[in-house]
């Protein structure tokens, strides 16, 4: 609808909150006379078009929130000269051009993320001594960053830009240090560890090399470590066993060389462990812990050189992967409101980067290794997993009938092993199954029919010359469908192969939850307003639509 023109007559108005409406009129011409405004919050509206280039007044304006408003053009100079400005949010728009010098020394919060800004970071930003929150993520900013001199900065998001050179050291007060998807080079400086209250360290998708600093084990509050997509070498520091608050450890796609880091199994809150595409090797030794990995929901150790049998004790004790009551389970995402855990995952053979991880998302990926032996029957007890990938190993024996208990499974890949026997009919009871692949094995007998199995293509079964029946052209002669008997075998557990976390992509329920998130908010959270404006007790709208991923990987 339209914004009433009479709004411009309220000359003494101090706060104007219009966020989350469907107004499409240009706003600032209507409020140009409201010179006493202290707070202007119009986020999540459709006030499209550029901002006026000439605006006078607003000497008292402390809060300017115009995020997710379809605004384009350059950021006009008057925004940078507001003398009392403390909090600025212009994120999720289509601003272009450069960032000018700020003239307000009272700025505590700046969010210009998810635009199309270019150039370098202006030197004036580094002189803002009170800055607590800075997000310039997902732009086209470039240059090197020699130092971050702030004394009070807690939240620093520079991810998804074009920065290069050595990685800067975070200020000692930093809580979130998000520098992923740039081109930082060299070692991870040990001085990173001076940020003693750090909770999130995201350095993924850069060109960092060298070893992972041992001193990271000194962080008592560290929750997320994401180093995926670098050139890191050496072993996994055993000091990480001291990070008792650690929830996400993503070391995938590096050059790490080590045996399986069994000493992580005692971390009580570890939800996600990703070691894929490294140089890990050797068997996974039998765990000595009474309850190893008690909270683990996603494990991806694919594309390594692990060998030996699948670790039965782990499958037996993955308590967080079984009996999840979704009906009474509060829908949550891993990570806090100030940071979205982002993980690279493989689903249906394709690689995706997930920006939020649902706590009900559970997956196992042990593919592309050298595991051998049988698939443990115990894996059928993990009845809350969504994805299981044990492909491209050397597994033998029969497919356990217990896999039919995985009632929430959406993809199952057992391809390229040495499995024998028939495909259990019990698998037809998994009505959520959308991807099924047992190709390139030694299976025989009739292919089960019914439910999802009526839709799987020929490729799901290719390379098994003993299989017969639809969808294959080979007919079954004198074969009867295998009875639905339940095996009682004591087999060793196998590890899973899936690409980790998911804010919500996949199929079925997970896909629906993901879409729900995309319609959810990513706007300025109330916790941030409380940090920046502690005197303001008014409830403000904090939601902002997630916005489209306009630049592929640039999130």
Distance from C-alpha of 301 to C-alpha of 307, rounded to nearest angstrom: 12
pLDDT on residue 361: 80
Question: How much is the pTM?
Answer: 0.84
Q: How far is CA 336 from CA 248, 282, 406, 524, in A?
A: 12, 36, 30, 13
Greatest extent of the chain over all pairs of C-alpha atoms, in Å: 90
Phi/psi of residue 406, each to 5°? -80, 75
pLDDT on residue 219: 87
Residue 199 token pair: 């909770």
pLDDT on residue 350: 65
pLDDT on residue 69: 86
pLDDT > 50? residue 113? yes
Phi/psi of residue 123, each to 5°? -65, -25
Phi/psi of residue 365, each to 5°? -140, 110
| 49 beta partners | 71
Higher per-residue confidence, 259 vs 147: 259
Q: Quick: pLDDT tens for 481-530.
A: 444 444 444 333 333 333 333 333 333 444 333 333 333 333 344 334 43
Mean pLDDT lowest for which of 12-16, 36-40, 184-188, 386-390?
Answer: 12-16
Arithmetic mean of pLDDT, 333-346: 52
Q: Quick: pLDDT tens for 238-272.
A: 999 999 999 999 999 999 999 999 999 999 999 99
Q: Quick: pLDDT tens for 455-485.
A: 999 999 999 999 999 998 899 986 544 444 4
Distance from C-alpha of 222 to C-alpha of 227, rounded to nearest angstrom: 14
308, burial (CB in 10 Å: exposed 0-12, middle 13-18, buried 19+) = middle
Distance from C-alpha of 162 to C-alpha of 140, rounded to nearest angstrom: 6
Give the dihedral of Cα atoms 407, 413, 417, 423; nearest 10 deg.
Answer: 40
Which residues, including other chains, have CB under 8 Å from residue 491's CB and lie 6 or more apart? Answer: 312, 373, 374, 375, 376, 377, 378, 397, 400
Q: Quick: pLDDT tens for 53-79.
A: 767 678 899 999 999 888 899 998 889
pLDDT > 70? residue 549? no
Mean pLDDT lowest for which of 203-207, 232-236, 547-551?
Answer: 547-551
Distance from C-alpha of 452 to C-alpha of 430, rounded to nearest angstrom: 8
pLDDT > 60? residue 40? yes
24: Cα separation from own chain's centroid? 33
| 142 beta partners | 162
Q: How many other CB atoms are there within 10 angstroms of residue 74's CB atom?
A: 16
pLDDT on residue 12: 78
Higher per-residue confidence, 349 vs 533: 349
Q: Are 183 and 164 in contact (CB under 8 A)?
A: yes
Give the dihedral of Cα atoms 308, 309, 310, 313; nearest 10 deg.
Answer: -110
pLDDT-above-70 percentage for the chain: 75
Phi/psi of residue 23, each to 5°? -65, 140
Select the highest-mean-pLDDT range: 239-253, 323-337, 350-364. Answer: 239-253
pLDDT on residue 420: 97
CA 358, 527, 361 angle in degrees (round to 5)? 5
pLDDT on residue 104: 86
Higher per-residue confidence, 326 vs 228: 228
Q: What value does the mean pLDDT of the chain take?
A: 82
Residue 213 token pair: 């600093």
Arithmetic mean of pLDDT, 523-544: 39
Q: Is the peptide bond before 471 cis (omega within 30 degrees of 0)?
A: yes
Phi/psi of residue 445, each to 5°? 90, 180
Residue 89 token pair: 């949010």
pLDDT on residue 26: 64
pLDDT > 70? residue 168? yes
CA 336, 159, 549 angle in degrees (round to 5)? 85
Q: Quick: pLDDT tens for 279-315.
A: 999 999 888 888 899 999 999 999 999 999 999 999 9
Q: Are 203 and 185 in contact (CB under 8 A)?
A: no
**Alpha helix segments (H runs only) across 17-167:** 28-31, 77-80
Higher per-residue confidence, 57 vs 234: 234
109 HSE (CA, 13 A, CB side): 21
Distance from C-alpha of 259 to C-alpha of 236, rounded to nearest angstrom: 9
pLDDT on residue 314: 93
String of b and e for 7-37 (b: at least 16 CB within 10 Å)? eeeeeebeebbbbbeebebebbebbeebebb
**Alpha helix segments (H runs only) across 180-294:** none
Which residues, including other chains, have CB under 8 Å from residue 288's CB and lie 6 or more apart? Answer: none
pLDDT on residue 411: 92
pLDDT on residue 462: 94
pLDDT class of 348 with cuts at 50, 70, 90: low
pLDDT class of 20 with cuts at 50, 70, 90: low
Every domain of the chain and the residues it spans: 63-437+489-532
pLDDT-above-90 percentage for the chain: 61
Residue 406 token pair: 């995985």
Helix (H) or strand (E) holding 509: helix 508-518
Distance from C-alpha of 190 to C-alpha of 326, rounded to nearest angstrom: 42
Residue 180 token pair: 């992923």
pLDDT on residue 520: 31
Among 139, 122, 140, residue whose Cα is nearest residue 131: 122
Arithmetic mean of pLDDT, 163-178: 96
Q: DSSP string of 291-319?
A: S-STT--EEE--SSEEEES--HHHHHH-G
Q: Quickly name the fold that domain 63-437+489-532 has.
A: 3.80.10
pLDDT on residue 325: 65
pLDDT on residue 349: 62
3-state secondary structure of 264: helix
Residue 210 token pair: 């060298």
């Amino acid at each position: 609808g339209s914004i009433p023109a009479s709004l411009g007559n309220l000359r003494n108005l101090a706060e104007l909150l219009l966020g989350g409406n469907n107004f499409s009129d240009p706003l600032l011409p209507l409020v140009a006379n409201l010179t006493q405004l202290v707070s202007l919050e119009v986020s999540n509206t459709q006030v499209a078009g550029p901002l006026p280039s000439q605006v006078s007044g607003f000497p008292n304006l402390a809060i300017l929130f115009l995020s997710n408003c379809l605004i384009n053009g350059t950021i006009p100079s008057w925004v940078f000269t507001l003398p009392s400005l403390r909090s600025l949010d212009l994120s999720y728009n289509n601003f272009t051009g450069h960032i000018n010098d700020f003239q307000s020394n009272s700025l505590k919060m700046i969010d210009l993320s998810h635009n199309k800004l270019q150039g370098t970071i202006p030197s004036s930003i580094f002189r803002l001594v009170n800055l607590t929150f800075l997000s310039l993520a997902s732009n086209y900013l470039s240059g090197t960053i020699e130092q971050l001199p702030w004394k009070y900065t807690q939240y620093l998001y520079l991810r998804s830009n074009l920065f290069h050179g050595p990685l800067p050291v975070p200020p000692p007060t930093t809580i979130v240090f998000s520098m992923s998807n740039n081109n930082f080079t060299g070692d991870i400086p040990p001085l990173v560890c001076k940020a003693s209250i750090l909770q999130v360290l995201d350095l993924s998708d850069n060109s960092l090399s060298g070893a992972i600093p041992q001193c990271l084990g000194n962080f008592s509050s560290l929750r997320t470590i994401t180093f995926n997509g670098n050139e890191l070498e050496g072993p996994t520091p055993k000091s990480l066993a001291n990070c008792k608050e650690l929830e996400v450890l993503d070391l995938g796609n590096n050059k790490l060389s080590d045996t399986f880091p069994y000493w992580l199994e005692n971390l009580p809150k570890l939800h996600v462990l990703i070691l894929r595409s490294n140089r890990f090797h050797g068997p996974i030794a039998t765990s000595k812990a009474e309850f190893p990995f008690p909270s683990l929901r996603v494990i991806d150790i694919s594309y390594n050189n692990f060998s030996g049998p699948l670790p039965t004790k782990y499958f037996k004790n993955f308590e967080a992967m079984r009996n999840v009551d979704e009906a009474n389970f509060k829908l949550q995402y891993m990570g806090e409101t100030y940071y979205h855990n982002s993980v690279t995952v493989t689903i249906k053979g394709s690689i995706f980067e997930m920006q939020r991880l649902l706590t009900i998302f559970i997956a196992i990926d042990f593919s592309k290794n050298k595991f051998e032996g049988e698939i443990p029957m115990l894996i059928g007890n993990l009845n809350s997993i969504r994805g299981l990938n044990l492909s491209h190993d050397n597994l033998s024996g029969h497919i356990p009938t217990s896999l039919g208990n995985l009632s929430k499974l959406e993809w199952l890949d057992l391809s390229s092993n040495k499995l024998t026997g028939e495909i259990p009919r019990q698998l037809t009871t998994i009505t959520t199954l959308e991807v099924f692949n047992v190709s390139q094995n030694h299976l025989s007998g009739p292919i089960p029919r019914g439910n999802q199995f009526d839709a799987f293509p020929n490729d799901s079964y290719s390379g098994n010359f003993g299989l017969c029946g639809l969808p294959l052209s080979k007919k079954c002669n004198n074969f009867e469908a295998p009875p639905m008997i339940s095996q009682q075998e004591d087999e060793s557990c196998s590890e899973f192969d899936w690409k980790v976390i998911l804010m919500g992509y996949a199929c079925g329920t997970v896909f629906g939850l993901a879409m729900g998130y995309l319609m959810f908010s990513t706007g300025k959270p109330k916790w941030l307003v409380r940090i920046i404006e502690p005197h303001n007790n008014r409830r403000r709208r904090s939601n902002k639509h997630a916005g489209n991923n306009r630049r592929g990987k640039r999130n």
